Amino acid sequence: MAVAKHRWRFGAFLALILIIPAALWASFMRSDEPMRIEVDLGSRTLKVIENGDVAHTYGIAIGRPSHPTPTGTFRTGAIDWNPAWTPPPTAWARDKEYQPPGAASNPMQAVKIYFQAPY
């Protein structure tokens, strides 16, 4: 039981690590904005660019062949702070359960940033 719980949290953490950088990267990718995010999948880094200078650099996790990290230029939409999580109607989430805001097993954790609707 403890191992399964640990694996679920690790999986949720990885999902969060993939979603937030991709969404943030998407929202700031335009070069004419004062702030943007650039992701380098090869070096697994996320850079926050402010006024043309690198302000912060973070290590990131990336997708796997079955769920690859999207590439391209993206913009964000809505941002939900402390969101609940409802499993999407996909095969990988078939046995997952709704997680309320703040739940330790909520894969969204503190923020959900929409960059590609609806999930």
The model's pLDDT over 53-110, given as tens digits with 9 standing for 90+, comes to 999 887 777 777 877 888 888 776 777 888 898 988 888 888 999 999 989 888 777 7
Closest C-alpha to 100, from 88, 92, 108: 108
Give the type of residue at 92.
Answer: W
More confident position, 3 or 80: 80
In angstroms, the CA 102 to CA 98 distance is 12
In angstroms, the CA 100 to CA 88 distance is 15
The model's pTM: 0.46
Give the start-to-end residue ranges of the domains of the chain: 2-113
The side-by-side arrangement of strands in the sheet containing 53-59 is: 35-40, 45-50, 53-59
What's phi and psi for 26, nearest 5 deg? -60, -40
In angstroms, the CA 23 to CA 79 distance is 10
CA angle 69, 15, 65 (to 5 degrees): 40
Q: Are 39 and 17 in contact (CB under 8 A)?
A: no
Confidence of residue 119 (pLDDT cuts 50, 70, 90): very low
The model's pLDDT over 10-58, given as tens digits with 9 standing for 90+, comes to 666 656 566 666 666 665 555 566 778 888 989 988 888 998 899 988 7
In angstroms, the CA 33 to CA 10 distance is 34
Query: Into which CATH architecture does domain 2-113 fall?
Result: Beta Barrel (2.40)
